[in-house]
Amino acid sequence: MTGQILALSGGVGGAKLVWGLARVVAPERLAVVCNTGDDFVHLGLPICPDLDTVLYTLAGCADPERGWGVAGESWRVLERLGALGGPTWFRLGDLDLATHLRRAELLASGATLSEATAALARALGVAVAVLPMSDDPVATLVDTDEGTLPFQHYFVARRCEPRVGGFRFAGIDAARPQPRFLALLEDPTLAAVILCPSNPFVSLDPILALPGVRARLAACPAPVVAVSPIVGGRALKGPAAKMLAELGLPVWTAWRWPAATRISSTASSWIARTPTGPRRSRASASPRWWRPR
């Protein structure tokens, strides 16, 4: 196998698999496309949680206890912010703030999110290509029994407590997939596509919902391999199992959509086995509840 390996990732769970891949695959052969549906502006700064978690993990500076943020973090700015009456529900550490400040500076100077991410990767010593799924803004919205919540308000401020009913991605129809991402999907020498064990609803589906991505993934000549975040009926990390249960779906590792042809889908991905010939995979369309309109 000599071509590139493309990994699609969310935050903590996906970053751990990417960390392992980076230890067995040469950096020039590995590219990681990260979900940006979680991105938002907080305290005037552009926050990209999944991109930063992957960067910190590959750089070896991620906090091993929390799985996110920077090891050896301090919280003096956040404490002072709270004393001044500012919002402290989204915990930004002092070292982490430097990343967001630098990203804000780069974006304000005219850099795209891809260019800003590449600059941060170089500064952190990350040789693997880490790409945002798009340079255009996309915002994940969670439909809950408390109304529609922006993802970070559901995930962090409300600690995933509201019952979910569906997910929407504001701006998805106008968002353009990151150019290198599309080029890799169309590269005849692509060795494999790996769907990391990230949340299927809020980490992987925003990537797959970008215009043209599902069709290219279905037509991709390389094998598409998925790693489920559900093991033994439980999520390895995060609220995936809770979401499945609240949507009336069994919390299984393996899933089969009735409408899918030759496709056996896990809760996090869509794996197909061709009856004859080599094993390969395809992406199926999202079920209607997945991204209600």
CATH number of the CATH domain containing 203: 3.40.50.10680
238 domain-assigned = yes
Q: Residues of 52-68 as b/e, b for ≥16 C-beta within 10 angstroms?
A: bbbbbbbeebbbeeebb
Burial-class residue 197 by CB neighbours within 10 Å (0-12, 13-18, 19+): buried
Q: Total structural domains in the chain? A: 1
The pLDDT assigned to 200 comes to 93
pLDDT at 280: 32
* pLDDT of the residue at 267: 29
Domain membership flag for residue 80? yes
| Structural domain boundaries, residue 11 | 5-271
The amino acid sitting at 158 is R
Q: What is the CA radius of gyration of the chain?
A: 19
- C-alpha distances out from residue 97 to 40, 53, 84, 109, 213, Å: 14, 13, 18, 18, 32
Confidence of residue 269 (pLDDT cuts 50, 70, 90): very low
Angle, CA of 162, 41 and 203, to the nearest 5°:
55
Beta-strand (E) ranges in the chain?
5-9, 30-34, 40-42, 45-47, 129-132, 139-144, 147-150, 164-170, 192-195, 224-226, 230-231, 234-235, 254-255, 264-266, 269-271
Higher pLDDT, 82 or 252: 82
Q: Would you say residue 291 lies in a domain?
A: no
